[in-house]
Structure 1
Amino acid sequence: MVLASAVLILAAGAMAYIRLAPSDPTQWNVALTPRPAQITTPSPDKITVLNDGAYVDLNVAADQTQALLAKLDGIALASPRTQRVAGSAETGRITWVTRSAFWGFPDYTTAESTPTGITIFARQRFGAGDWGVNAARLAAWITKLNT
């Protein structure tokens, strides 16, 4: 009985830590160039799946990036359990946090204007693999961008 209680208390503490962990904008809303070290050469307009997230380059004319970032911001904010951490379309970089339904695991997605369009990098905060969740979210957001 004591062991079961201890396990429940530890699980509740871990869940509270994960769900309530603050999102520091200075840690997550950072420039994506140079690209994160684990990314070599992503295919344009194709999602590159990483162990801890996903990455995509969208080739867009320079005069369209701000409008596309604004549209992406609306799509992201309409997604379940997603909030803006920092940035705006006007500044050329936006970061959102999306939390899983049960545990509240945070995944961070940053979209940034680049000379060739928009780069989007979605990554997890905790754990060693995201089971394709970030790539699926990016695919859904990009599909909505194209409609």
Structure 2
Amino acid sequence: MTAFPPVAELVPQRPPMLLLDEVVAADDDGITCAAVVRPDNLFLAGGRVHASVLLEYMAQAIAAFAGLRARVDHQPPALGLIAACRNLELHAEHLAVGDPLQIVATRVFAGAMAEYRAAVTRHGQPLAEAVLSVVPTAPVRTPAGSPA
């Protein structure tokens, strides 16, 4: 089993915006991350999180993938901006505190812009999927000044 670095070392988000808990698998083409909806979730309203927030979970998984790839290349990760979100499908209205989430992002192609197919499941049941186009920007540095 390969140990992965903490998600906070791979992505620019910090609590309370950091939603992912861990990277559970990754290869040259994609990543699988895990998260649990916590009581301190920034998007919690009325005891629930609206399913539209799943887009952010997918974006953070893509950021974690980019962070891992940058480490392999001995480079700081670049910030990525979502340029397009196509075919977003939400299969639930809300998430509950304690819901375990699995987030998978697979790179379809990369260049000046990268495209990913991403999906989120809960107990193996689909919650959301989308095709996200991401444009890389400047490398990110952690508050300590070292590469993220």
Same structural fold, with TM-score higher than 0.5 when normalized by the shorter chain: no
More helix by share: 1
TM-score normalised by structure 1 residue count:
0.29
More strand per residue: 2
The normalised TM-score by structure 2 is: 0.29
Larger Rg: 1
